[in-house]
Structure 1
Amino acid sequence: MDYSHLARQLIRPVEEAGRVIMNIYCGPSTIKFKPDGSPVTEADRAAESILLPAIAAAAPAISIVSEENPASHEFVAGCQFFLVDPLDGTKEFIRAGGDGAFTVNIGLVTKGVPVMGIVFAPALNRLFFGSASGGAFEISSGNCRPIAVRKPEPRGIVAVASASHRDLATNQWLEDRGIKQIVSIGSSLKFCLIAAGEADVYPRYGPTMEWDTAAGDAILRAAGGNVLAEDGSPLRYGKSNYRNGPFFAFGGG
């Protein structure tokens, strides 16, 4: 499969989902809560209704696991499957006057490895995509450019950390390494900022699900970075509960 071609096929529906999200973001929105207490809005559902048919049309033989479709969580992940989060960073979405750091995520996993990803931040007009076979790119204001991780600058390492889920373990990890420059931002944009050479490391101890990370992880790997589990091995996908343990995303150097 040509992962790069597949990513480019899916850019248009991702952008369409982003436009629908922004229409809701700019108007009144209904917020509900899932059994685990996490929020879900009509924007999640509206975006999903665009993404899932488009993915199925582009790759009909590949299963889709979507955050907002609990029935899809029940199947045993096979050799290859999509992980979809139609609105990552819902807390950022519902926070009035926030930084707009919410995203649309599509990731493709093959044999436990994220091989293709698309992340779109519609409020920021930044779309990132990448694949194991085609490198990583950003589209902004209609311009498409290749992106790559950077070597840490002499002035010091820049970390990105969760805006809504930062914990004591993360703070301790940063303190132990003397990292002073920390950008707090929501959603999968943290991976993308490292992929674009705007930051260097993202430590995560708090809970995440595979659909939160697969797309950004694929883009970062395509840009020359890596994402490691706590034991130092590459983060893998397709666990029975789709839940990640602690992980650390790195750029170059």
Structure 2
Amino acid sequence: MDFDALKAALIPVAREAGAKIMEVYEKPAEAEFKGDGSPVTEADAAAEAIILPALHAAAPSVTVISEENAASHALAAPETFFLVDPLDGTKEFLKRDGKGSFTVNIALIDKGRPVFGIVYAPALDRMFVGVVGQQAEESSGGVSRPIRVRDVPYSGPVAVASASHRDAETDAWLNDHGIDQTTSIGSSLKFCLVAAGEADVYPRFGPTMEWDTGAGHAVLAAAGGRVTNPDNSEFTFGKPDYRNGAFIAWGQLNPT
């Protein structure tokens, strides 16, 4: 895969999808609910309608598994596939709280591992792109810079946790690891804060799907981080129903 060509093709697509999401964001909040109880909005469908044709044009032979394309969820995971969440953090999107913690997620998975990811937070104008084995970068305000996980500060590690799905297992894990500094934010931005050196670890025990995590995982891995199962084994993709178990996204903090 030509990752430079993929970046050139898909970064503008993520921005276009983000612009469409922001058009909807300016309207009164409205949502419907899917069979699993999760919300879906006009913005989800509008963003997906931009992303899917662009992926087909950029890589016509690669299967796309997308949150809002329910038929794709029944497909067995091929060796290489795209994962798309056109609007990750729909609950944060609906809050209209000014925090802007919702994203466009596009990931490429190969042999069970994320190799490329784009996470775009349109309300914050933060674009994260990662090519695993090469580099992760953030673009904001027309300026692009490489990003890297940080050394754990002397003041102690900072964990980032879900804004809408914080649970007792997360609190227990943080307590067991002696981590008392946390910041809360929604969507795949949690991976990106660790990747950009703004936090050190992201533990997640609540339910997620692979399209929620693929792009952020790729950005973090490209920035020198890693994602593991709680037992420190490798966290992989292409699982049944594309459903994740618990995981820990690490910066430089060592697992204990």
Normalising by structure 2, report the TM-score: 0.97
Query: In the alignment, is the contact (CA less than 8 A) between 2:64 and 2:81 conserved in 1?
Result: yes
**Residues 162-218 of structure 1 deviation map (CA, whole Å, 9 limit, x = unaligned):** 000010000011011121110010000000000001100000000000000000000
CA contact (8 A) 1:117 1:218 kept: yes
2:233 alignment counterpart:
233
Partner of 1:173: 173
- For 1:123, the equivalent position in structure 2 comes to 123
Structure 2: tracts of 5 or more residues without a match: none
CA contact (8 A) 1:2 1:133 kept: no
Structure 1 letter corresponding to 2:136: A
**2:94 is the counterpart of 1:94:** yes
The answer to whether the 8 A contact 2:117-2:215 is kept is: yes
The match for 1:32 is 32
Q: Summarize the Cα distance change of 1:4–1:134 in structure 2 as closer, same or farther, 3 Å threshold.
A: farther
Contact 1:82 1:107 in 2 (8 A): yes
More displaced, 94-103 or 106-115? 94-103
Cα distance in structure 1, aligned partners of 2:132 and 2:5:
11
Return the letter of the residue paired with 1:3. Answer: F
SS in 1 for 2:23: helix
In 2, Cα distance between the equivalents of 1:29 and 1:237? Answer: 33
Report the Cα distance in structure 2 between the residues aligned to 1:23 and 1:124, rounded to whole angstroms: 14
Q: Distance in 2 between matches of 1:93 and 1:30?
A: 10
Q: 2:17 is matched with which residue?
A: 17
- How far off its partner does 1:232 sit? 1.3
What is the number of residues matched between the two proteins?
A: 253
> Quick check: 1:74 aligned with 2:74?
yes
- In 2, the alpha carbon distance for the partners of 1:34 and 1:57 equals 29
Supply the AA of the counterpart residue of 2:105. Answer: N
**Distance (whole Å) between structure 2 residues aligned to residue 39 and residue 120 of structure 1:** 20
Mapped partners of 1:100, 1:223: distance in 2: 23
SS at match of 1:108: strand
1:105-161 per-position Cα deviation (integer Å, ceiling 9, x unaligned):
001000000000000000011000011243100000011110000010001100000
**Residue of structure 1 equivalent to 2:159:** 159
Structure 1-normalised TM-score?
A: 0.98
What is the aligned-residue identity percentage? 60
Q: How does 1:103-252 map to 2 (within 5 A)?
A: 103-252=103-252
2: CA distance, partners of 1:96 / 1:109:
32
Greater Cα shift, 126-135 or 55-64: 126-135
Query: Does the aligned pair in 1 maintain the 2:127–2:140 contact within 8 Å?
Result: yes
- Partner of 1:221: helix, strand, or coil? helix
Aligned-residue CA RMSD (Å): 1.0
Question: Which residue identity is paired with 1:189?
Answer: L
4+ aligned runs moved over 2 Å, structure 1: 2-5
